[in-house]
């Protein structure tokens, strides 16, 4: 009898210790019209700290990412059951309605914000979520927020979480909000092949020339490292359909026209953004190139990119400076 009682106790303990089932992503929340007030409502993560994606939420990385004051970033892609992304040559993956791109920003291992880009029936919607100090919850911040923190380089900054309209400034293309990160030429062939094998991508895209890994920048031609950096940090606005289309300066990876890349190109509208300089890029002379002048500035109305940084990026400046210096 005592053995039976003990077995019952052990069975009860085992039942009590059984982990809670992992719930699927809330597809109704993704495809609905409301803006969820907390990140947890989507069901992207199995833990409250937003670090363990549930099945169906796939981590990915960009070969060369956007630089944001040295923030550590984690990226995830969600595709609804029964759907798959479609390859579009070298460019952006075509993601189905109901898909989501999730990007978290952390400093010193502490999450600061998570941005969610939702593909709804009427288009893409960008929503920013800010993490609490306890790292247990991220709340919607449509109006954005300023957060005092210290960067990995030891600089104290007022970090800007973008408001919903500012998200549109970078993600706007031809008047529509759109993803800007997951382009085939900035993703690894291994990740793309894995997605195709898993039935989440219709085919492996043929990429003629891929942006190199940022950590390999010292081992690849400086022009490749610099062009990859400019694509990730500038080309979302500086393209024929972007917010800076009227500048005529197009900095995408696939651009091949030296003039459109800024070589001996005068600015469309001269102003203090150009400083005392005449051309966007002067071959062999980064010190007299407007592109370098604006990258090295922190002054409002001069600094480029306009959003997403409070400090300078020495490594990014170095590769672009080397690219210009090597031009003949």
**Does position 144 have pLDDT exceeding 70, yes or no?**
yes
Q: How far apart are CA 148 and CA 112, in angstroms?
A: 10
Nearest partner of 164 among 191, 143, 181, 178, judged by Cα: 143
Q: What is the reported pLDDT for 215?
A: 97
Nearest partner of 96 among 78, 111, 74, judged by Cα: 78
pTM, full prediction: 0.89
Helices assigned H by DSSP within the chain: 2-17, 27-31, 164-171, 189-197, 222-233, 290-295, 314-325
Sequence spans of domains, the chain? 26-210, 212-328
Contact 299, 271 (CB under 8 A): no
Contact 145, 135 (CB under 8 A): no
pLDDT digits over 221-273, tens only? 999 999 999 999 999 999 998 888 889 999 999 999 999 999 999 998 767 88
pLDDT digits over 267-301, tens only? 987 678 888 899 999 999 999 999 999 999 999 88
């Amino acid at each position: 009898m005592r053995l039976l009682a003990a077995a019952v106790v052990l069975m009860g303990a085992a039942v009590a210790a059984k982990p809670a089932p992992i719930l699927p992503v809330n597809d109704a929340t993704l495809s609905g019209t409301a803006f969820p007030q907390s990140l947890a409502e989507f069901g992207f993560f199995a833990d409250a700290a937003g670090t363990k994606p549930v099945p169906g939420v796939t981590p990915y990385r960009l070969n060369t990412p956007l630089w944001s004051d040295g923030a550590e970033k984690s990226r995830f892609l969600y595709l609804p059951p029964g759907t798959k992304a479609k390859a579009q040559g070298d460019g952006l993956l075509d993601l189905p309605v109901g898909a989501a791109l999730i990007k978290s920003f952390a400093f010193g291992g502490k999450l600061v914000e998570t941005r969610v880009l939702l593909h709804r029936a009427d288009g893409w919607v960008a929503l920013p979520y800010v993490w609490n100090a306890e790292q247990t919850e991220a709340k919607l911040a449509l109006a954005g927020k300023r957060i005092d923190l210290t960067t990995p380089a030891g600089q104290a900054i007022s970090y800007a979480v973008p408001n919903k309209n500012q998200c549109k400034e970078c993600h706007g293309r031809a008047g529509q909000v759109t993803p800007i990160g997951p382009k085939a030429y900035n993703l690894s062939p291994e990740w793309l092949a894995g997605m195709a094998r898993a039935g989440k991508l219709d085919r492996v895209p043929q990429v003629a020339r891929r942006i190199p890994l940022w950590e390999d920048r010292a081992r690849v031609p400086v022009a490749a490292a610099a062009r990859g950096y400019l694509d990730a940090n500038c080309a979302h606005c500086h393209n024929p359909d972007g917010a800076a289309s009227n500048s005529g300066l197009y900095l995408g990876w696939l651009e091949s026209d030296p003039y459109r890349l800024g070589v001996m190109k005068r600015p469309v509208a001269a102003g203090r953004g150009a400083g005392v300089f005449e051309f966007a890029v002067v071959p062999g002379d980064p010190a007299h190139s407007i592109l370098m002048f604006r990258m090295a500035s922190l002054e409002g109305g001069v600094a480029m990119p306009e959003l997403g940084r409070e400090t300078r990026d020495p490594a990014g400046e170095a590769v672009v400076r080397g690219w210009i210096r090597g031009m003949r």
